[in-house]
A and B are shown apart, each in its own frame.
Chain A
Amino acid sequence: MAQSSIATTGFVIPPGQDPVSVFEKHRAELLRSRLVMNITLIVLFLALLIVSVIISRFYPERLWNGLPRIFEYFGTVMPSLEADKLFEGRAENGKAVPGSLLFWYSDIGKYVRLLFETILMAITATMLGVALAFVLSFPAARNLALTRWSNILARRTAEVFRGVPEIVIALVLVFAVGIGPLAGVIAIAIHTAGALGKLFSEVNENASMRPVEGVRSVGGNWFAEMRFGVVPQVLPNFVSYALLRFEINVRASSIVGFVGAGGIGQELNHTISFYNDDRVMAVLILIVLLVTTIDLISERVRTRLIGRENLI
């Protein structure tokens, strides 16, 4: 095996030399250079490991002391359900019976409202972000930009939007526009515009220029070239990327609430910080259900959309 792969990498035997000794020499050189690189990497790796352990104070005894507390904590947030009372309604005094599902999810009305808000946030943010990414993606594509400057400007904008995590944007916006879902929506929309703007522009760069030239040759301006030369080619890809992004945004909108930017995350943060009981688990389960359900639906839609794209 080794022999054949060396032969294919341009291994030439100089005339008048013994092929075996030349081969051995070449092989030894190859092995030595690989060995040097591997040792360097291993040393770097170990150094990084030691430095990391020291910086983050990740010592075995800390981990050892921490582990039982993790299990302890998960024990406290587990619901104490009792099989015989599981489906019991409210008692005469209007209070739910401890041990019943109703008692565990006594705040279900609030949770449902927040889940609804989370989904709306994700949808609106995705729509706004996709629209902005769409606009950015044409000047950001090297083959389509009208001028070099608009290209650079569009690319840099997308990079900055994408580079700053949405929760940091949300933090800033909560300060600016106040606590509530608006900050979350705009933060996620900005991050989406950056992430999709880059992906969309890459799709645009791979588009065939022939239809573009066709539209140019009939007297179409730049907008007509984009609308008819590029968009029909790239739209299916855009739609599938946008749906994938929607899945990601549902996750994002369930956490931006940690900084007060609306959605179910706000409630999770609240319950974890102030209560030490089964309500934490109740909210966590809802978030997991939300995320997995949206993933499943979105996957269905994506597979259905492939093949029938009369959206143009």
Chain B
Amino acid sequence: MLEITQLTKAFGPNKAVDNITLSVPQGQMVGVIGRSGAGKSTLLRMVNRLAEPTDGKILFGGREVTALRGRALYAWRAECAMVFQQFNLVGRMSVINNVLMGRIFHHGFATAMLQIFGPEERALAIRALDRLGMAHTALQRAETLSGGQMQRVAIARALVQQPKLMLADEPIASLDPLNAKVVMDALRTINREDGITVLANLHTLDTARTYCDRIVGLMEGRVVFDGTPDQLTDRQAREIYGAEADDAFSEGVTSTSLRPAQPVRALEGAE
């Protein structure tokens, strides 16, 4: 259970996130929507503690995330995986070593620096890659992959963290529609099969409607909608997106012919 209470992040006089209170039960898939600059990214980055909140609290399973320091903080980040818009992989390292980065917290200084990973960890990494249909690229350098492939590697990295919570910051904003679908399906499958809570920032409304159990709409750092996709009316959505509405309604995974939630394995030949 993730509990966010009165969370605020201010940059000078501007409040990127303004007094947000939100509670997410374990295993839910939540889509956070809003126009650019609505505070979606900042919210997610504060949950992972990549950004420090100005005020408020984040609790996970009763533990106060916002008070963690030092090794406890690293432990939290290892438990709370994050997937980025730009993948944030180490381009000049092999795919398998990128995925194994997800185990780095569990290593001491020497074995981490020398990249000494055990066979269980390597097997876990390959299985994670296999689930995303990327095992055949394991020994390639990450920078040789396409954007969609990189994002799948990034999700595999998140999987080997054995997380309880997965944050996805605009995971499909840099991808073409087909790859966007593969990535969203993967997140949905992970959510369903592994019972991992997924909190995803999504720019396009239809993606959120199609994949998420619950939608949270942000406007100027505040929650203006919180409910199931069915409860979100067109009028409310237009209000959330404002001038960007046309963009958000037409872009990305919008085609109704693309149905979600098939197991990812079936999509192996998608590339």
Query: Chain A interface (Cβ within 8 Å of chain B)?
Result: 210-211, 213-221, 223-224, 227-229, 232-233, 235, 309, 312
Contact = CB atoms under 8 A, between A and B. Distances in A.
B93 interface: yes
Contacts, number: 81
Interface in B193-236: none
Interface residues of B, number: 30
Interface stretch (B18-26, B32-40, B71-79, B245-253): B71-79
B77 A213 contact: no
Given A215-B101, A219-B74, A224-B112, 15 more contacts: A210-B86, A211-B91, A213-B88, A214-B88, A214-B101, A217-B48, A217-B50, A218-B101, A218-B157, A219-B76, A223-B113, A224-B113, A228-B90, A228-B93, A232-B93
Contact of B92 (A215, A220, A227, A312): A312
Contacts of A221: 74
A229 B104 CA distance: 12
Residue of B76, B81, B86, B88 with most partner-chain A CB within 10 A? B88
Given A214-B101, A218-B101, A232 B50 contact: no
Nearest to B78: A219
Interface in B60-80: 74-79
Q: Interface majority SS on A: helix, strand, loop or mixed? A: helix
A232 B97 CA distance: 12
Nearest to B73: A219
B113 A217 contact: no
B82 interface: yes
B89 interface: yes
Given A210-B86, A227-B113, A219 B50 contact: no
Given A218-B102, A218-B105, A312 B50 contact: no
A219 B75 contact: yes
B182 to A, nearest CB: 20
A215 B90 contact: yes
B112 A227 contact: yes
A109 B91 CA distance: 51
A228 B94 CA distance: 11
Interface string B146-188: 0000000010011001000000000000000000000000000
A39 B18 CA distance: 61
Given A223-B109, A223-B113, A224-B112, A217 B77 contact: yes
B117 interface: no
Contact of B77 (A211, A219, A223, A312): A219
B157 to A, nearest CB: 7
8 contacts: A210-B84, A213-B88, A214-B101, A217-B77, A217-B81, A218-B101, A228-B90, A229-B90
